[in-house]
Chains A and B, each alone.
Chain A
């Protein structure tokens, strides 16, 4: 089973700042199957990034994903007020399709 560890647990930033979120896999995984999701309070998660670096439909270009092997990164270039939320990475290449524990991005 692939274990995904996200860091930091919480990120406190101001609007306009850059956010860098990390997702580390317990063993090397194919970047083709690494995704990132955003979840706002009271809402379902939303797919942001698939295949480690491809933006999902309608996702602004301030969101970008990168990485390979065991280390992956989600970057939000300039935080907008609506971006503050919890972010999860996921490996969907083989069962179980695990999620990381999440990173909360809070307003400073």
Chain B
């Protein structure tokens, strides 16, 4: 059974940093593109970042480019998102998702809430 378990969310002040992690199980992690998708309160879905299995190709949405860094450790089946220079508009539930360009988002974590507020 595929499982994606996110952690690391919380309350942070504007300008602060936070690191999200996602531990994957139930599939060959290194073979699959992974993504982070966020959902602001009461809003729709936005893919903010993605990384291929070998880390050879990385995507960032314009809204987070230069502030967020995605990475993965295939030896630990772990996906990470380092978030910096956080803004109020980054407040959202962040989902770890299996899938990316060319493949549907077939498995989602339960989400972790990031709140940016003073």
A residues lining the B interface (CB < 8 Å)? 33, 35, 37, 44-47, 50-51, 56, 88, 90, 92-102
Contacts and interface: CB of A to CB of B under 8 A. Distances in A.
Nearest to A92: B104
A92 B101 contact: yes
Interface in B83-107: 95, 99-107
A101 to B, nearest CB: 5
A100 B46 CA distance: 10
B46 A99 contact: yes
B61 interface: yes
Nearest to A56: B106
B21 to A, nearest CB: 17
Given A44-B111, A88-B44, A97 B100 contact: yes
Contact of B45 (A45, A46, A51): A45
Contacts of A98: 47
A90 to B, nearest CB: 7
29 contacts: A35-B104, A44-B108, A44-B110, A45-B45, A45-B95, A45-B105, A45-B108, A46-B108, A47-B104, A47-B106, A50-B106, A56-B104, A56-B106, A90-B104, A90-B105, A92-B100, A92-B102, A92-B103, A92-B105, A93-B102, A95-B59, A95-B101, A96-B47, A97-B35, A97-B100, A97-B101, A99-B47, A101-B44, A102-B44
The 7 A-B pairs with the shortest beta carbon distances in the complex, nearest first, are A50-B104, A44-B108, A99-B45, A35-B104, A47-B106, A97-B47, A95-B59
